[in-house]
Chain A
Amino acid sequence: MTRYLPYLLVGVLFGFVLIKSEAASWYRIQEMFHFQSFHMFGIMFSAIVTAFVTTQIIKRMGQRKAMDGQSIEIPEKPAGRISYIAGGVVFGLGWGLIGLCPGPVFALAGAGSVGAIVVLAGALHGTWLYGALKHYLPH
């Protein structure tokens, strides 16, 4: 059990930040898509820069081991284009409507929103639908 504890703690921090940053707010997402505030863009840019700098440091340190003994490697996404764009558009359409992407769905459900649980139920059905239709979709 204890080997899962770090994931739990980092997950708690993530959920806490999503609420405190208001990234889990429908209003903030509308404000972002209408370019009415720098807030969400600032979050995204500073998150990407932080992750970029820290992963570059990890790369340059050479061979390092994770806490569980595995060597750290930054995984590559499979090559492709159509599935990334088409999937992104479908996801974006949903995100613009409900203002919640998967991380904030879990955080907001924890904050007691019944609506977020309905979104989660929908997202699970959508995921299942993709799995069932995968072979018929262009990738």
Chain B
Amino acid sequence: MDWLYHPWPWYVSGPLIGLMVPMMLFIGNRSFGISNNLRHLCAITQPPNVDVDFFRYNWKEHIWSLVFVIGTGLGGYLAGIVFANPEPVLLSQAAQDMLLSWGFTQPGAFLVPDELFHTSVRNFTFLFASGVLVGFGTRYAGGCTSGHAITGLSTLQLPSLYAVLGIFAGGLFSSWFLVPWMLI
């Protein structure tokens, strides 16, 4: 049962993630994608006196999607806590060198760095603000990595190619300029 604890190589994880697309079609003719759930959660919690029309629809038709992400959280609990990997993330030497030069003392000790994720006002401001970008951008683009890069590209949809190019451009800018600037 060792394989349950260890990280999985890309040629195992990638195809499993890709299989989400046909599985969702087979279960209920659903398009695989995660970020719509953020919209549904807004629709559920929107107070009647706010009433933005983008969130005025029958979210109960999308319970299947919310059940899916509850499952995702549960899967995260199983993989991250019950079958937690005792080893650090096996990063490439180049990545380790870069992270050390950014001032991280133990790159890859857990999935995310304590320096950015542990509880502090500064970290939580950073995480919240970046989360706002993620939430705003995914809805503006009509999908995220799952809906556009995987579902969209694999079904040869041009809008998804635009979105993926935008996503990659934004990500390159952040990780080459904003992250080092923030850390050093």
Determine the residue in chain B with the shortest Cβ distance to A71.
Answer: B29
Q: B-side binding surface: helix, strand, loop or mixed?
A: helix
Contact A72/B25 with A47-B17, A94-B130, A103-B146 known, Cβ cut-off 8 Å: yes
B184 at the A interface (CB under 8 A): no
Instruction: Let me know if A95 and B134 touch, CB within 8 A.
Output: yes
| Residue among A12, A14, A58 having the largest count of chain B Cβ atoms under 10 Å | A14
Contact of B178 (CB < 8 Å), options: A4, A68, A93, A125: A93
Minimum CB–CB distance for B60 against chain A, Å: 12
Check A7–B128 contact: CB distance below 8 A.
Answer: no
Q: CA separation between A134 and B52, bound complex, in Å?
A: 10
Q: Which of B22, B77, B78, B92 is in CB contact (< 8 Å) with A51? A: B22
A101 near B145 with CB under 8 A, answer yes
| Least CB distance, B112 to chain A, in whole angstroms | 4
Q: Which 10 A-B pairs have the closest CB atoms?
A: A11-B71, A122-B131, A92-B170, A88-B166, A15-B75, A111-B80, A96-B174, A126-B135, A87-B141, A91-B137
B103 within 8 A of A: no
In the bound assembly, the distance between CA atoms of A44 and B140 in angstroms comes to 22
Count chain B residues whose beta carbon lies closer than 8 angstroms to a beta carbon of A: 125
Known interface pairs A72-B26, A107-B80, A124-B41; 14 further A-B residue pairs with C-beta atoms within 8 A, sorted by A's residue number: A18-B17, A19-B75, A33-B172, A44-B149, A48-B153, A84-B160, A87-B141, A90-B136, A97-B126, A100-B112, A101-B134, A113-B111, A115-B112, A126-B132
Which residues in A have some Cβ–Cβ distance to B below 8 Å? 3-4, 6-31, 33-34, 36-40, 42-52, 54-55, 57-58, 66-68, 70-81, 83-103, 105-116, 118-132, 134, 137
Interchain CB contact under 8 A, B75 and A131: no
**Residues of chain B with a CB closer than 8 A to A3's CB:** 64
B83-113: CB near A (< 8 Å → 1, else 0) gives: 0010001011011001100000001100111
Q: Which of B16, B46, B67, B136 contacts A126 (CB 8 A)?
A: B136
Complexed CA–CA distance, A111 and B77 (Å):
4
Chain A interface, DSSP helix/strand/loop, else mixed: helix
Alpha-carbon separation in the docked complex, A72 to B31 (Å): 10
Given A34-B175, A37-B95, A111-B79, the answer on whether A106 and B34 have CB atoms closer than 8 Å is: yes
- Give A26's nearest chain B residue, CB to CB: B112
User: Smallest CB-CB separation from B78: which chain A residue?
Assistant: A16
Q: How far is the CA of A84 from the CA of B144 in the complex (A)?
A: 10
B55 at the interface (CB under 8 A from A): yes
**Chain B residues with Cβ under 8 A from A93's Cβ?**
133, 137, 170-171, 173-174, 178
Q: What are the residues of chain A within 8 A of B174 when measuring CB–CB?
A: 33, 92-97
Q: Which residues of B contact A123 (CB under 8 A)?
A: 38, 131-132, 134-135, 138
Expressed in whole angstroms, the Cα–Cα distance for A21 and B7 within the complex equals: 6
